[in-house]
Amino acid sequence: MSEDHGAFGVKGTGDTSGFGGLVRTSHSADSTPRPYGGYFDEIADELERAYPQFSEDIERVVVDRGELTLHVKADRLSHVAQVLRDNPALRFEMCMGVNGAHYPNDKDRELHCVYPLLSLTFNRRIRLEVSVPDSHPHVPSLVEIWAGNNWHERETFDMFGVVFDGHPGLTRILMPDDWIGHPQRKDYPLGGIPVEYKGATVPPPSERRSYQ
């Protein structure tokens, strides 16, 4: 267990967030030992039975803050997702999208994608998470399994630069097509354009006061 100081480890861009004094505890990268508690053990047991490569393709199983997260090898993501959706004892019919995250100090695993899953049949929730290097930010698209992920994958591509292989139309969804960079990465330059309101103007973040 270690500690990160400051605005989530970002340095050199000025602290306009007010979180400059933040101290955050980093937890161990190991799997959570059994028993997980609640229905989490049932899900893990059933997935192990239905997916023989469980021990090889699931890097770790983490229970934290009442949530179960399966950390999956990126190239096996679609295989695990298919089992979670189609197995009658699991039935995770809905994926609530994909959330990107950027950890610049997590060497060779800088970009993370998190998928919250919901079983409507059993009223259960879990998460999938994959990690890929900034040098090769490729993750299989899950649009063929959960069609609702289409726009979510486009947003994660736009904001974080994750390339979803097999996506039917992977283009930017928020920024202009010719925009350079990915604005929600932690190493993205802090700056912008003024925001104009009636009778007032809010300066870009790079011109606001620093809280350091």
The reply to whether 158 falls in a domain is yes
**For residues 18-36, average pLDDT:** 74
Q: Containing domain of residue 59, as a range?
A: 37-181
The reply to whether 132 falls in a domain is yes
Residue 32 has pLDDT above 80, yes or no: yes
User: How many domains does the chain fold into?
Assistant: 1
The reply to whether 19 falls in a domain is no
Q: How confident is the model at residue 46 (pLDDT cuts 50, 70, 90)?
A: very high
The reply to whether 174 falls in a domain is yes
- pLDDT value for 147: 97
Residue 145 has pLDDT above 80, yes or no: yes
CATH code for the domain of 156: 3.30.460.80
Provide the terminal-to-terminal Cα distance of the chain, rounded to the nearest Å: 26
Q: Which among 45, 63, 42 is positioned nearest to 54, based on CA atoms? A: 45
- Distance, C-alpha 143 to centroid of its chain: 16
Pairing of strands 124-132, 67-72: parallel
Cβ pair 103, 112 in contact under 8 A: yes
How much is the mean pLDDT over the chain?
Answer: 88
The reply to whether 21 falls in a domain is no
Cβ pair 142, 159 in contact under 8 A: no
pLDDT, greater one: 33 or 16: 33
How confident is the model over 112-130, as pLDDT tens digits? 999 999 999 999 999 999 9
How confident is the model over 154-197, as pLDDT tens digits? 999 999 999 999 999 999 999 889 888 998 999 887 766 666 66
Q: Please report, for residues 115, 149, 177, the alpha-carbon distance to residue 107 in angstroms, rounded to integers and kept in the order given.
A: 21, 27, 29
The reply to whether 104 falls in a domain is yes
Q: Name the token pair of 161.
A: 């630069």
Q: How confident is the model at residue 26 (pLDDT cuts 50, 70, 90)?
A: low
The reply to whether 164 falls in a domain is yes
How confident is the model over 50-100, as pLDDT tens digits? 999 999 999 999 999 899 999 999 999 999 999 999 999 999 999 999 999
